[in-house]
Homo-oligomer: A and B are copies of this chain.
Amino acid sequence: MVEINGSVKDLLDQPVLYNLATVNPNGSIQVNPVWGDIEDGRIVINTAVGRQKHKNLVERGDRITVMVQDPSDTQRYIEIRGKVSELTEANGDEVIDRLAKKYLGVDTYPYRSAEETRVTIVIEPTKVFGE
C-alpha cells in the first residue's frame, strides 16, 4: 500500500472536494465530488446505501480514482488510484457527522434522511500522482 502523507495529506486534510471516479455496470465512468478525509494513510468517504456510487464501490471496488485540486493553485492537482479495502455501515453515521464538521463546521450532518442508511468506505491507495 502507498500511504497518503506529507504535502498530499496536507491538501486532503483541507475541506476540498474529493472527485470520486467509479466504474458503472456498462463500463462508463461516474465522477462525483464527495466529502472525504485521510485516516491512517487511507481515503475515507461516506455515501448512502443503494446509490449507484455505492453499487460501483461494492462491485468494482478495484478501480477507484480520487482527484483533488488545490484551491490555491489551479496548476496543482493530486490523482490517487486505489481499491476499496473496507465498506461498513457500522460507523456510517459517525463518519458523516465527522465530515460535516470538517466541511460545514457543524456537529451533526444536516441533510440526514430517515430513509437512507449511511455507509463508510475506506480506499487503499495503490498509486499517487502529484505532490
Which residues does A use to contact B, with CB under 8 Å?
17, 19, 21, 23, 27-33, 63-67, 69, 74, 77, 79, 81
Contacts of A23 in B (CB 8 A): 27, 29
Q: Which of B19, B64, B74 contacts A67 (CB 8 A)?
A: B19
Residue contact A69 to B29, C-beta cutoff 8 Å = no
Q: How far is the CB of A42 from chain B (nearest CB, A)?
A: 18
Given contacts A19-B19, A21-B21, A74-B17, whether A65 and B33 have CB atoms under 8 Å apart is no
Q: How far is the CB of A78 from chain B (nearest CB, A)?
A: 10
Residue contact A31 to B27, C-beta cutoff 8 Å = no
Residue contact B63 to A29, C-beta cutoff 8 Å = yes
* 6 A–B contacts, CB within 8 A, in A order: A21-B21, A27-B63, A29-B29, A30-B79, A32-B67, A33-B67
Q: Which of B17, B28, B31, B74 contacts A31 (CB 8 A)?
A: B31
Pairs A-B, 8 closest by C-beta atoms:
A31-B67, A29-B65, A21-B29, A21-B31, A31-B65, A21-B21, A28-B63, A28-B81
Q: Which of B32, B33, B77 contacts A32 (CB 8 A)?
A: B77
Q: Which of B29, B33, B69 contacts A77 (CB 8 A)?
A: B33
Residue contact B31 to A79, C-beta cutoff 8 Å = yes
A108 to B2, CA, bound (A): 40
